[in-house]
Structure 1
Amino acid sequence: MAAQQAPLRNPGSAGAGIAGEQRVVELAIQGMTCASCVGRVERKLGKLDGVEASVNLPLESAVVRVPPTVSDQDLIDTVVATGYGARVVRPEHDGEGGHDHDHTPSLLGVRLTLAAVLSVPVLLISMVPALQFANWGWVVFALSLPVVTWSAWPFHRAAAVNARHFASTMDTLVSIGVTAAFLFSAWQLLADPTLTQHAGMAGMDMTEHSLYFEVAAVVVTFLLLGRFLEASAKQRAGNALKSLLSLGAKEAHVLRTVDGERTEVTLPVHALIPGDEFVVRPGEKIATDGVVSEGHSAVDTALLTGESIPVEVAPGDAVTGATINTSGRLVVRATRVGSDTVLSHMGRLVSQAQSGKARIARLADRISAVFVPVVLVIAVLTFVLWLVLTGDLDAAFTASVTVLVIACPCALGLATPTALLTGTGRGAQLGILIRGPQVLEDTRTVDTIVLDKTGTVTTGTMAVDDVVVLADLPAAALLRLAGAVEAQSEHPIAQAIARHAAREGRLPEATAFASAPGGGVRGTVDGVTVTAGRASWLERNGIRPTAGHLAAFAAAEGTGTTAVWIAVDDAVAGFIALSDTVKDGSAAAILRLRDLGLRPVLLTGDNRAVALQVAAAVGIDATDVHAGVTPEGKVDVVRDLQAAGATVAMAGDGVNDAAALAQADLGIAMGSGTDVAIEAADLTVMGNSLEQVAQAIELSRRTLGTIKGNLFWAFFYNAVGIPVAAFGLLNPMLAGAAMAASSVLVVLNSLRLRRFGR
């Protein structure tokens, strides 16, 4: 979406004239790192007269409603004055994205790689005396310099931006701690160039001199790892929309009249205009929304609606772009094109749901908002008091730097990425993909899980349930005859009957075959005439079911199945009932979800009879069944549950589920589903089993608990260490050792997740 030139009238300002007209502008914002950045940008934009802004941190964008009195440049200038970069997103630049170059995964990956390669020798040389050679301090100084400058640049830049606005985040603490450790070490080395002239620790006075280059380098490396994982998750957050829009047809076979004759011209879909007629052959995607003007067919709408049964269409029926024509040739007259189509509308739903999702601020950021200023104040007070009370400048500087070093968040930086890496690694072994730390926090409070029926609880494939005989004919013989004639049709239901019949033996050939798209089939098998299809098809061939036949047929459909009439020699012989099949293990998975404290809710685009049948089979209450819902309706169901106070997880696998997955507090995609569903989800289970969904929630909750335990010990270490350092009871070397010990504790705690599920 870009700056829209068509004015958008505010419904609440009727009669306001020009003053009531607004346009919508999308801005790409660069430089935001946390929730406080989002609030700052929204507040500054909101101070402009008549401007309303909604800023999205994962997508690094802002959707702004703007009156005519405010220009695009006014918006950009306001954002820039706030300390961030901005540009207007226009259609021709859609592919550029709005990401801050410093925070893209590719550049962060380069910074991380450099930091890791240089930090390993710095750490080994500094901490292992056997590896130390003459004047090793200068080598360590040279190796750590690029790490604390270029690799750490995103932290320094963010700290500077926040400092200009009298704010602080984790970036502030990282920048100050790393800089303090590096500059103090460099000052020690420059003050005494012979400090490391001997191999090993010989000649170094541990009570007065110490080098902490490894502290600065390792802190940067681990925190860059966490930032890299976060940036990768951010980049994927916007891919759902791109994947969704790519599902549409790329070309259309448009009918044009040339020299009085209608010919087909192949054009790109974006060249279509309302009123164009185009041809759709069997197996092709419908290019755009329209109305059938010629032909009969069955259209597979599962991509958008989730319904497993194809929809029969005839002249005058509406069809939707990106759905698939399964049988007959259609001529469609375009009614909606481009951004007006249902597919584009679903794309906007996904984007809006992502923008509106409440992102829980990172715990470390919330605490550091208080922690950072407190540490800075303590460091300054330590320096001043030591200088006043002892008059020893070197001791004052050493004590204050020790406070900063021990406060430097190495364990804090490890707390999330190590647990996340271990938890997600174990999840990958179990076929569970976790998007990021936000997902883990969302699982903690989830109390309701919405399950899409088709493809999640059921297989999504039609199968024969029953063969009902209404004449003097064995069921096996009726199925054999029906399978033979249906095998000649390409309709999905016909193919399901033929597959089922073929399991009982080789099917005979059908001759004199005829079919009517949307009606049925007719042919001669083993010397008898077999007719299969809808009631209207039977009537067209002079076959009329009795009242008893109709009652039995209605009873079968009332149980949630789809029934197909079968007639032999122009007399009703019975019907075949088909339905979507429930996955093995779905009932056990529902029970496990209940044991986790979750209330299961079934959601489907199919009719209520089908939905109730599936719900009864897996143990979901009838009151928790929502049937016949559209993709927009699925979003509404999730919103209604959230408005009622529920924290909602949603499990689905189709394009029609993408917006609801994004709207839910926790989106779970089945790995057998579409790329769009997977991109819109927070969790992906790679198998078909619903039981993996329960296991994924368990693993996420366990991983979150580990992260919180890590954060507690990291802050506890700071709470104890800072006052000890301020009283001069620690030198920087011991502070570094204490920091290393806290990091080891965090890592060991995280590694316990490797035993999950064993």
Structure 2
Amino acid sequence: MSATAEPITLPATSAGIDLPIEGMTCASCVGRVEKAIRALPTVEAANVNLATEKATVKFAGEADLASVIQAIKKAGYETRTETVELGIEGMTCASCVSRVEKALRKVPGVIDASVNLATEKATITLPAATVSRKSLEAAVDKAGYAVVRTDVAADAEGAEDRRDAEVRHLRNALAIAATLTVPLFVMEMGSHFIPAIHDWIMMDLGHANSLYIQFALATGVLFGPGLRFYRKGIPALWRLAPDMNSLVVLGTAAAWSYSLVATFAPGLLPSGTANVYYEAAAVIVTLILLGRFLEAQAKGRTSQAIKRLVGLQPKSARVVRDGVVLELALESVAAGDVLDIRPGERVPVDGIVMEGETYIDESMITGEPIPVRKAAGSEVVGGTINKNGSIRFTATKVGADTVLSQIIRMVEAAQGSKLPIQALVDKVTAWFVPAVIAAALLTFAVWLVWGPSPALSFALVNAVAVLIIACPCAMGLATPTSIMVGTGRAAEMGILFRKGEALQTLRSADVVAFDKTGTLTKGKPELTDLVTTDEFNEADVLRLVASLEAKSEHPIGEAIVNAARDRGLVDAVVSEFEAEPGFGVSGIVEGHSVLVGADRALTKAGIDVGAFATAAKQLGDGGKSPLYAAVDGRLAAIIAVSDPVKETSAATVKALHDLGLRVAMITGDNARTANAVAAALGIDEVVAEVLPDGKVKAIKGLKRDDRKVAFVGDGINDAPALAEADVGLAVGTGTDIAIESADVVLMSGDLIGIVNAIAISRATIGNIKQNLFWAFAYNVILIPVAAGVLFPINGMLLSPILAAGAMALSSVFVLGNALRLRRFAAPVQPREPGRQITLANTLELKGSAS
């Protein structure tokens, strides 16, 4: 469902919540579903209607839709769900995230809600057509935040505009706050440390006037640029749901209020405690604004991968209409239009080349650096760059259907997801801010009762320091920022994490299992070996054999014909063609009697194949079945056709071994062929002779001893195995069904991408752990310091000003650390174009493989 669509409103009332159910066909289905739902302890009543295909569920207490949906699924039926995405404004820390999630989850009908602080988006899962967008927006509004209305097509652009506006507003607020704070800081701190300033204030300006000026400057900072904190923090306090803004409000308001009394009614305070802390309140606001400004700038950089992907699509295209080339907006291009592309231009949409020839740079989509040749019949992808030729192509996919649009959606989905590691953060931040307020109150009480004179001043300063330093911003940003940068960098390398969870799971893989055909191999039979006797010329034999096989429809014959045509050999005229199943084919080619087939075919014809006994054994050891050719009754050649291994398969297996992983292969081939391929590639485990529907069982077998299995496949029959594996990786050259079933997609089809995917998974999770360590360690160490635990030991106290600076630094540190992932370099670079490497190259035979 799009973010702007308005589903039908079916609110949860005392009558219950309606859930759409798929798969029911009769009354027994109804009974089965009702029984499954009623068995849940949280359900008071359930009524299923076959005609409307809905279940009305009434809960005894709080609605637990997730359990109901799981029960329906176990009963053998499905509940249609959809997702709604909302842009959220006003979130500043992890506690804000937790608050919005709780508010959304309380909306009747919502199954789950996940909020991402870095992307400022909420993803809500709910039963199809049961909850209105208005009710979701109302829940967000009630929680104290705002929903941003955006058009889906302009969402990325709008988000960038909003972020730019936020940076601009923060820059202006910081400039005003700094302008007012600097003279205030100089007056107060300078009077303590610089004798000249102290003398000027006391003798010329006057102490009272100095306090009035400090009051005016601090008030201007707090209720000018700092008003943003009060607008958010005070309502949050009234709702008994304090956030980071509330901590700032409590800290600065306490310092300012105390100073106000000390300035205008000092007699109300105990003797010796009438001190002012205007500069602390002002500097705190200024430093936090500085931190927010730097944070907003860094957050903008975390989404640069998406910006670059969006920027790949040109704004217009040249469309051929009625023989005339027109410059049209990209939105006006429709499927079936003919487009004209010149050298140096970007391809606007996906399509198939009609005329012309060129080389196209597809590196921004696949990660492959070498331009790809395109001619009539070739596919082109929107966003790629035409290098040197002019072509015309027919548009096949436009708008949201293009590969580039799908990539952007995949990356955004991965960036907006939550990893399992985030669960710990969510649990901590749920109680963090209230705990900090309690710690500040305890600090105030302890210093007030047991602190040295003036106890009230010590109590106030230390309590404010605790409030200011305990910022959960770093906790909230630790995971999502790393995910954003990591998945964005992966996309630039041609690796798409369709699900963010795969980032965490892939790094823990113990076994990488490959489908053989089409994944480790090219998936199309090719002529790999042709060795002639001394009496015959290789090219002549290949031409005669290929001419004969052209009359056959066997895949092996097709491979031989393609090899001959690739070498420019012209078909000869064939007569008296005969095909004998299980033996071979024969005929007259240019007056020569030609026979091609298995050894039994030549033996039947009285031709001895013993001359190729050694070659036949080597081919057999390589998992190949040899064919023989005879010309005019004489043995002419031994031939092998097989599905050749991809150029990078062996290097990929070695690289995976270097990472400490075991490699397995699942194939329907016979054990001899499978073991030969596995031996050549260095594969550890082989599951051979697997039927198409047996791959899931094979994956389960590899999972023994609690091993984590990553499965790599490309075909339709690989989809169930991709889903069964802990992580499914689909090569981008495979089928759409396989790609949709996978967690990770390798756009280039280059298997080396698997190694790079694992490497960036490990780098990203390592980065997240560093961020979380810093965020938690910072608070664990500095909150006690701010409370004054070191004072009895060495007399050290943490100034609220230093606390504000450290708090701002913590968020900037986490963001800066996450941004390091932008410089992640692939440990294995894509292969350079070169000679095909096949098992045939290892045979020391006369002649060469075609």
Q: Tell me if 1:604 matches 2:662.
A: no
Q: Which of these residues, 810, 816, 834, is aligned with residue 742 of structure 1?
A: 810
Cα distance, 1:122–1:665 mapped onto 2, change above 3 Å: same
Q: Could you say which residue in structure 1 is the equivalent of 2:589?
A: 525
Structure number with greater Rg is: 2
Structure 2 SS opposite 1:484: helix
Paired position in structure 2 for 1:369: 427
Question: Which digits, 9 at most, give the CA deviation of each residue in 1:502-557, with x for residues without a partner?
Answer: 35553243255879899987765313455667999x89xxx955696699899767
Distance between the aligned counterparts of 1:463 and 1:411, measured in 2?
A: 56
Give 1:709 deviation, angstroms.
1.1
Give the share of equivalent positions with the same residue, in percent.
Answer: 32
Displacement of 1:604 after TM fit?
A: 1.8
Give the distance between the partners of 2:162 and 2:470, measured in 1 at CA.
21
User: Which of 683, 691, 697 is residue 636 of structure 1 equivalent to?
Assistant: 697
Matching of residue 176 in structure 1 with residue 237 in structure 2 = no
Secondary structure in 2 aligned to 1:459?
coil
Q: Are 2:441 and 1:383 equivalent residues in the alignment?
A: yes
Q: Secondary structure at the match of 1:450?
A: strand
Structure 1 CA distance for aligned equivalents of residues 469 and 155 of structure 2:
26
Q: Residue 515 of structure 2 contacts residue 712 of structure 2 at CA under 8 Å; is this kept in 1?
A: yes
Which of 683, 686, 690 aligns to 1:625? It is 686
Q: For 1:117, give the aligned amino acid.
A: D
Output aligned runs, 1:437-456, within 5 Å: 437-456=500-519
How many residues align? The count is: 566
Once the two structures are TM-superposed, the CA of residue 220 in structure 1 deviates from its matched residue by 9.5
Q: In the alignment, which of 741, 751, 773 is matched to residue 680 of structure 1?
A: 741
Q: Residue by residue, what CA displacement relative to the aligned partner does 1:345-401 show, whole Å, maximum 9, x if unpaired?
A: xxxxxxxxxxxxxx9963343144245425423413533663797599999898767
Shift of 1:620: 1.8
Q: Residue by residue, what CA displacement relative to the aligned partner does 1:33-69 show, whole Å, maximum 9, x if unpaired?
A: xxxxx99654577899x97999999989xxxxxxxxx
Matching residue's letter, 2:660: G
SS of structure 2 residue aligned to 1:722: helix
2:164 corresponds to which residue?
Answer: 117
Aligned partner letter, 1:120: V
> 2:657 is matched with which residue: 590, 594, 597?
594
Q: 1:548-585 deviations in whole A, cap 9, x for unaligned?
A: 66998997678533556756579997663200112234
Decide whether aligned partners of structure 1 residues 661 and 59 sit closer, same or farther in structure 2, where only a CA change above 3 A counts.
farther
> When the two structures are superposed, what TM-score results if normalisation uses the length of structure 2?
0.52
Q: How far apart in 1 are the matches of 2:503 and 2:259?
A: 49
What residue identity is the alignment partner of 2:244? G
Give distance in 2, aligned partners of 1:720 and 1:382: 15
Letter in 1 for 2:642: S
Kindly indicate whether residue 72 of structure 2 is the aligned counterpart of residue 5 of structure 1. Answer: no
**How many Å separate the matches in 1 of 2:758 and 2:571?**
51
> Alpha-carbon deviation of 1:455?
3.0
Give the distance between the partners of 2:625 and 2:222, measured in 1 at CA. Answer: 79
Distance 2:78 2:301 in 1: 27
Does the 8 Å contact 1:649/1:668 carry over to 2? yes
Paired position in structure 2 for 1:708: 769
Q: CA RMSD in A?
A: 6.1
Distance 2:174 2:106 in 1: 49
Gaps of 5+ in 1: 29-37, 61-75, 164-171, 194-202, 233-358
Name 2:755's counterpart in structure 1: 694
Give the distance between the partners of 2:768 and 2:820, measured in 1 at CA.
12
Shift in Å, 1:423? 3.7
Give, in whole Å, the separation in 1 of the partners of 2:581 and 2:522: 24
Question: Using the alignment, how far apart are the partners of 1:679 and 1:204 within structure 2?
Answer: 60
- Cα distance in 1 for residues equivalent to 2:476 and 2:431: 18
Write the distance in 2 (CA, Å) between the matches of 1:735 and 1:57: 46
Rounded Cα–Cα distance in structure 2 between residues aligned with 1:481 and 1:390: 103
Q: In structure 2, list runs of 5 or more residues that go unmatched.
A: 1-19, 40-46, 56-61, 85-104, 114-123, 141-146, 181-216, 261-275, 308-416, 450-454, 790-796, 828-850
Which residue does the alignment assign to 1:413? 476
In structure 2, relative to structure 1, the CA distance for the partners of 1:700 and 1:218 (3 Å cut) is same
| Cα displacement (A) at 1:120 | 0.9
Give per-residue Cα distances to partners, 1:166-222, cap 9 Å, x unaligned: xxxxxx8xx7224554787799999999xxxxxxxxx99222445377489669969
Shift of 1:717: 0.9
Change (3 A) 1:56 1:610: farther
Paired with 2:597 and 2:419, the residues of 1 have a C-alpha distance of 57
Displacement after TM superposition at 1:716 (Å): 0.8
**Contact 1:8–1:23 (CA<8 Å) still a contact in 2?**
no
Deviation at 1:707, TM superposition (A): 1.6
Determine the C-alpha separation between the residues in 2 that align with 1:376 and 1:230: 37
Q: Distance in 1 between matches of 2:158 and 2:256?
A: 26
How is 1:153-164 mapped onto 2 (pairs within 5 angstroms)?
none
Decide whether aligned partners of structure 1 residues 426 and 367 sit closer, same or farther in structure 2, where only a CA change above 3 A counts: closer
Where do 1:248-259 residues align within 5 Å? none
- Quote how far apart the aligned CAs of 1:617 are: 1.0
Which residues in structure 2 correspond to 1:427-438 (within 5 Å)? 427-428=490-491, 430-435=493-498, 437-438=500-501
Where do residues 335-350 of structure 1 align in structure 2 (5 Å cutoff)? none
Structure 1 position 132, deviation (Å): 4.8
The one-letter code of the counterpart of 2:23 is: Q
* Partner SS, residue 588 of structure 1: helix
- How many angstroms does 1:704 deviate by? 1.6
Contact 1:532 1:566 in 2 (8 A): yes
- 1:614 matched to 2:681? The reply is no
Cα 1:137/1:79, change in 2 over 3 Å: closer
Asked if the contact 1:434–1:683 (Cα under 8 Å) also holds between the matched residues in 2, the reply is yes
Q: Deviation of residue 712 (structure 1)?
A: 0.3
* CA distance, structure 1, for counterparts of residue 248 and residue 22 of structure 2: 47
The aligned counterpart of 1:276 is none
d(CA) in 2 for partners of 1:54 and 1:215? Answer: 50
Residue 598 to residue 529, structure 1, CA distance change in 2 (3 Å): same
How many Å separate the matches in 2 of 1:231 and 1:443?
A: 23
Contact 1:215/1:736 (CA < 8 Å) preserved in 2? no
Change (3 A) 1:505 1:544: same
Q: State TM-score, norm by structure 1.
A: 0.58
Letter in 2 for 1:206: E
Tell which deviates more after alignment, 120-129 or 593-602.
120-129
1:472, CA displacement in angstroms?
Answer: 7.4
Going from structure 1 to structure 2, the CA distance change for 1:191 and 1:398 (only over 3 Å counts) comes to closer
Q: Does 1:206 align with 2:279?
A: yes
* Pairwise CA distance, 1:592: 2.4
SS in 1 for 2:540: helix
Partner Cα separation in structure 2 for residue 641 and residue 27 of structure 1: 40
Paired residues of 1:406 and 1:736 also in contact (CA < 8 A): yes
- In 2, are the aligned partners of 1:125 and 1:136 still within 8 Å (CA)? no
SS, match of residue 560 in structure 1: coil
Aligned to 1:341: none
* Structure 1 equivalent of residue 707 of structure 2: 646
The DSSP-based 3-state class of the residue aligned with 1:207 is: helix
- Report how far residue 446 of structure 1 moved: 1.7
